Amino acid sequence: MLDIKFIRDNKELVKIGAKKKHVDVDIDALLVLDDQRRAVQTSVEAKRAEQNAVSLKLPSADADLKSSLLESMKKLKVELQTEEENLKKIMKDWQTLMLRVPNIPDISVPEGENETDNKEVKIWGQKPTFSFPAGDHLELMTCLHMVDFERGAKVHGFRGYFLTGPGDKHYFAIWNYALDFFTKRGFSPIIPPVIVRKENLYGTAHLPGDVEDYYMTQDGDALAGTAEVPLMAYHSGEVLDLKNFPIKYIGFSPCFRREAGSHSKDVKGLIRVHEFYKMEQVVLCEASHETSVKFHEEINRNTEEFIESLGIPYQTVINCGADLGLGQVKKYDINLWVPKEGKYREISSASYFHDFQCRRFNIRYRDVLGKLKYAHSLNCTAIPTPRILVSMVENFQQADGSVLIPEVLKPYFGSDSIKK
């Protein structure tokens, strides 16, 4: 959510920002509506003021005065009700439009139509070459009994999977390693609820948007697609203490995604599934662009270093305008090398929002002068499982069909390879 005053004062900037994000929203219509809103509100408030003034006199008035005052107040009430009705309608439309106004992308964000226009800013690692016919993660993991897609489909349906034996063990190894890695960097571990009230999806700016992307319960709650939602909602409505900034959480949660609209994409394997687990970095900090930028670089670097410690080749891209969410100012994606596909696949997203999310969630703090301000928020994937397995097994496969375990994972996994 942007400040309406900011939109009024920076109309052109907001329009340019929306265009860069390829978001279709009528800023002029919003501003017309906003003029109406303020005019009607002023009129309503004047009538209420009159009502309040008369109410003060009424108890002490004599009978004649009383009945004449009551008469005129009844008339006023009818007028007031009409105007209030009108104001309510205006406010509803106003809110709807306000929720659709995107945050303004940073100047460093490249123009672009879709994710193919994202710009590579970094590559790391040595892509493996194989002197034997290399397998893809499906073949390898099935062969090593790490995963069972057939029974997954039988039990869950499309995109269902069981992780079995070494696959299951590998999961726990990664989680435990990641937990140690990120807590050492000052992140507090937290396990949030993933069944969340729908309003929270508006807070993170996942909504308004495609509701079809979310599983809903019969109580109208949503299954969150990321721990970002409950972790941001965690402090909603609160006034935080500046002393505690930056607040850093490493959240661990299951993630549910219906993948509506992507039925033909990645139909096999572990790249795109309906349920998975993810560790997520969430940061709340003071409202300064420089601070946001600093932490944005930091949390993205955290994930890069985590991937480097595992030894998987990756590429970092800066996302183009069209590939940014409504609230995001700037985003980096980290993509891991998938040898059999011959391309990099997304593993992580690091974004900052300025006060866009905190405004919606009403998360504030008092600055050094004691003034209330909306905090800034950021988030970045720490590690998604099982997607990470795709790159791990393909990059570390051996001629005999086994898969080597990265050095740092060995203590958590308990052996140095997965063999048939």
Partner RNA sequence: GGAGACGUGUCAGAGUGGUCGAAUGUACCUCUUUGCUAAAGAGGUGUGCCCUUUAAAAAGGCACCGAGGGUUCGAAUCCCUCCGUCUCCGCCA
Q: Would you please indicate which residues are annotated as catalytic (active-site) residues? A: 257, 272, 346, 349, 387
Residues 353-372 that bind RNA (CB under 7 A): 372
Question: Beta strand pairing status for 376-385 and 195-196?
Answer: unpaired
CB–CB of 318/338 below 8 Å?
no
Nearer to RNA, 44 or 143 (CB): 44
240 near RNA (CB under 7 A): no
76 near RNA (CB under 7 A): yes
What is the rounded CA–CA span in Å between residue 35 and residue 29? 10
Angle, vertex CA 123, rays to CA 118 and CA 127, nearest 5: 120
Q: Which of 29, 58, 121, 155 binds RNA (CB under 7 A)?
A: 58
56 near RNA (CB under 7 A): yes
CB–CB of 251/280 below 8 Å?
yes
419 near RNA (CB under 7 A): no
- Of 70-78, 142-150, 151-159, 322-330, the segment contacting RNA by CB under 7 A is 70-78
Find the shortest distance in angstroms from Cβ 379 to RNA: 25
For 36-67, b/e burial (b = at least 16 CB within 10 A) is ebeebeeebeeeeeeeeeeeeeeeeeeeeeee
Residues 369-388 that bind RNA (CB under 7 A): 372
Find the shortest distance in angstroms from Cβ 222 to RNA: 14
Q: How many CB atoms lie within 10 A of CB 347?
A: 21
Nearer to RNA, 373 or 410 (CB): 373
What is the rounded CA–CA span in Å between residue 117 and residue 124? 20
Question: In this structure, what token pair is assigned to residue 364?
Answer: 């504030």
Q: Which of 32, 65, 70, 260 binds RNA (CB under 7 A)?
A: 70
Find the shortest distance in angstroms from Cβ 368 to RNA: 14
Q: Which of 27, 31, 73, 404 binds RNA (CB under 7 A)?
A: 73
Nearer to RNA, 56 or 368 (CB): 56
Nearer to RNA, 51 or 262 (CB): 51
What is the rounded CA–CA span in Å between residue 348 and residue 335? 7
- Of 67-75, 150-158, 159-167, 376-384, the segment contacting RNA by CB under 7 A is 67-75
Nearer to RNA, 55 or 183 (CB): 55
Find the shortest distance in angstroms from Cβ 188 to RNA: 22
What is the rounded CA–CA span in Å between residue 184 and residue 302? 11
CB–CB of 160/153 below 8 Å?
yes
User: Of 397, 329, 324, whose CA–CA distance to 137 is shortest?
Assistant: 397
4 near RNA (CB under 7 A): yes
What is the rounded CA–CA span in Å between residue 362 and residue 348? 27
Q: Which of 24, 28, 74, 264 binds RNA (CB under 7 A)?
A: 74
- Close Cβ partners of 218 (under 8 Å, ≥ 6 residues apart): none
Nearer to RNA, 62 or 400 (CB): 62
316-355 mask for RNA (x: CB under 7 A)? ----------------------------------------
Question: In this structure, what token pair is assigned to residue 290?
Answer: 């420089």
129 near RNA (CB under 7 A): no
88 near RNA (CB under 7 A): yes
- Close Cβ partners of 246 (under 8 Å, ≥ 6 residues apart): 283, 284, 285, 286, 291, 295
5 near RNA (CB under 7 A): yes
| Omega prior to 386 cis, within 30 of 0 | yes
63 near RNA (CB under 7 A): no
What is the rounded CA–CA span in Å between residue 190 and residue 193? 10
3-class SS of residue 73:
helix
Q: Which amino acid is at 63?
A: A
- Close Cβ partners of 159 (under 8 Å, ≥ 6 residues apart): 259, 267, 272, 273, 274
What is the rounded CA–CA span in Å between residue 7 and residue 98? 10
183 near RNA (CB under 7 A): no
Residues 25-54 that bind RNA (CB under 7 A): 38, 41-42, 44-46, 48-49, 51-54
77 near RNA (CB under 7 A): yes
Nearer to RNA, 55 or 96 (CB): 55
Nearer to RNA, 76 or 97 (CB): 76
Query: Which residues are near RNA by CB under 7 A?
Result: 4-5, 38, 41-42, 44-46, 48-49, 51-56, 58-59, 70, 73-74, 76-77, 88, 372
